[in-house]
């Protein structure tokens, strides 16, 4: 599914602007990594694309549907096609791995079925298949908070598979993981994205990972798109420029990420 942002702007209720005239067209099946210093607006942009934040100006379209204008059933259907993978996993800790994967069907099947209380054998088989795909079938009945960070992120990916999402928005999916687990999660996420020809927008702070996995890099600075192109066409200086003029601690974070993954 393709995504189109036209002249998107957002101003916080206290009057502070966070996104300014963002224009982006993302083709179906394209893998975009969003880069930029701490506080430049990456997560806010992703949250707007997830429909979790409203925008103050412009329009966001996904396929034929305007996220900005859709209401009721149309909005629910659209949201059910959007998967998310967050830094903090966003799983229900005291439920089993299997139940968390069933939650991928929440938008389609409702709460009772998603909790495994009334779901069909076909749905249960499908959930197990999703867990097998991420290598966690043997942990299906374990409580989610008894898994490692890397395993929890795999559960989030299995939930996204279960959802049959066409779009995936990932916000720093490896930020809480050590370099090895982080790479494993990126490999798995992008393998699945390619297998299912999903469109993905992923926020990363690790420039090396970004260049390796992205079809296209988009850089934000102060809420504006200031860089957009294939990784091979973007110079290290242009990438470094994204972080110039920002807080020193922010730069250190971003560049530290590069070295951590080398
Ligand atoms: N709900 C909110 N109300 C007001 N300001 C907010 C809110 N959420 C975020 N902000 C501010 O908006 C700006 C952009 O935040 P955002 O989280 O999008 O940045 P980011 O680029 O994702 O940063 P990071 O890399 O640190 O995650 C920041 O200055 C932040 O303090």
- 158 contacts 169 by C-beta, under 8 angstroms: no
Structural domain boundaries in the chain: 30-39+80-257
How far apart, in whole angstroms, are the C-alpha atoms of residue 12 and residue 5? 19
- Please name the residue whose Cα sits nearest to atom 4 of ligand 1: 12
> Residue 251: is its pLDDT beyond 50?
no
Q: Nearest residue CA, atom 7 of ligand 1?
A: 12
Residue 43 CA: nearest ligand 1 atom is 22
What is the reported pLDDT for 112?
54
Residues sharing a CB contact under 8 Å with residue 69, sequence separation 6 or more, in sequence order: 59
Q: What is the pLDDT of residue 149?
A: 93
Question: Could you tell me if the CB of 40 is within 6 A of ligand 1?
Answer: yes
The residues with which 22 forms a beta bridge, in sequence order, are 8
Name the residue at shortest CA distance from atom 13 of ligand 1.
Answer: 39
Cβ–ligand 1 contact at 41 (below 6 Å): yes
**CATH C-level class of 30-39+80-257:** alpha beta
What is the mean predicted confidence (pLDDT) over 53-73?
A: 95
Do the beta carbons of residue 130 and residue 103 sit within 8 Å? no
Q: Is 223 in the pocket of ligand 1 (CB under 6 A)?
A: no
Distance 173 CA to ligand 1 centre (A): 17
Q: What is the pLDDT of residue 117?
A: 59
Q: What is the mean pLDDT of the chain?
A: 89
What pLDDT is recorded for position 195? 93
Provide the pLDDT for residue 109: 57
Instruction: Determine the Cα–Cα distance for residues 169 and 123; give it in Å rounded to an integer.
Output: 24
ipTM over 0.90: yes
- Asked if the model's pLDDT at residue 255 lies above 90, the reply is no
Phi/psi of residue 90, each to 5°? 50, 45
Q: How confident is the model at residue 89 (pLDDT cuts 50, 70, 90)?
A: confident
- Residue-wise pLDDT for 91-142, tens only, equals 999 899 999 999 887 655 555 555 665 678 888 899 999 999 999 999 999 9
Ligand 1 centre to CA of 186 (Å) is: 24
Q: 216 in ligand 1 pocket by Cβ < 6 Å?
A: no
Tokens encoding 153: 């992120």
Ligand 1 within 6 A of 12 CB? Answer: yes
Residues 144-170 have a mean pLDDT of 94
> With bands split at pLDDT 50, 70 and 90, how would you rate the model's confidence at 248?
very low
Quick one: pLDDT at residue 240? 92
User: Residue 203, Cα to own-chain centre: how many angstroms?
Assistant: 7
Ligand 1 centroid vs 137 CA: distance in angstroms?
A: 37
Both structure tokens of 163: 């959802």
Q: Indicate if ligand 1 lies below 6 Å from the C-beta of 150.
A: no
**211 pocket-lining for ligand 1 (C-beta < 6 Å):** no
Return the ∠ at Cα 157 (arms to 228 and 48), rounded to 5°.
45
Contact 225, 36 (CB under 8 A): no
4, pLDDT greater than 50: yes
Give me the pLDDT at residue 253, please.
Answer: 43
Q: What is the pLDDT of residues 169-215, one digit of tens each?
A: 999 999 989 999 999 999 999 999 999 999 999 999 999 999 999 99
Would you say the CB of residue 38 lies under 6 angstroms from ligand 1?
Answer: yes
Q: Which mutation among 11, 37, 43, 45 tests ligand 1's pocket best, with the greatest number of atoms within 8 A of CB?
A: 43
């Amino acid at each position: 599914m393709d995504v189109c942002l036209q002249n998107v702007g957002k101003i916080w209720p206290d009057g502070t602007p966070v996104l300014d005239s963002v224009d982006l067209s993302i083709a179906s099946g394209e893998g975009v990594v969003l880069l930029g210093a701490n506080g430049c607006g990456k997560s806010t942009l992703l949250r707007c694309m997830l429909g979790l934040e409203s925008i103050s100006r412009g329009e966001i379209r996904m396929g034929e549907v305007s996220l900005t204008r859709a209401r009721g059933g149309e909005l629910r259907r659209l949201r059910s096609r959007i998967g998310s993978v967050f830094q903090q996993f966003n799983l229900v800790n005291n439920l089993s791995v299997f139940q968390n994967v069933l939650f991928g069907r929440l938008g389609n099947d409702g709460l009772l079925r998603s909790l495994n209380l009334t779901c069909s054998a076909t749905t249960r088989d499908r959930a197990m298949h999703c867990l097998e795909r991420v290598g966690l079938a043997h942990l299906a009945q374990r409580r989610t908070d008894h898994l490692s960070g890397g395993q929890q992120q795999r559960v989030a990916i299995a939930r996204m598979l279960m959802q049959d999402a066409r779009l995936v928005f990932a916000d720093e999916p490896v930020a809480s993981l050590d370099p090895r687990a982080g790479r494993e999660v990126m490999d798995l996420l992008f393998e699945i994205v390619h297998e299912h020809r999903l469109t993905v927008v992923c926020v990363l702070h690790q420039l090396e990972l970004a260049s390796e996995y992205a079809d296209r890099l988009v850089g934000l600075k102060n809420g504006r798109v200031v860089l957009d192109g294939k990784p091979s066409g973007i110079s290290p200086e242009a990438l470094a420029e994204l972080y110039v003029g920002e807080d020193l601690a922010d730069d250190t974070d971003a560049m530290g990420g590069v070295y951590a993954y080398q």
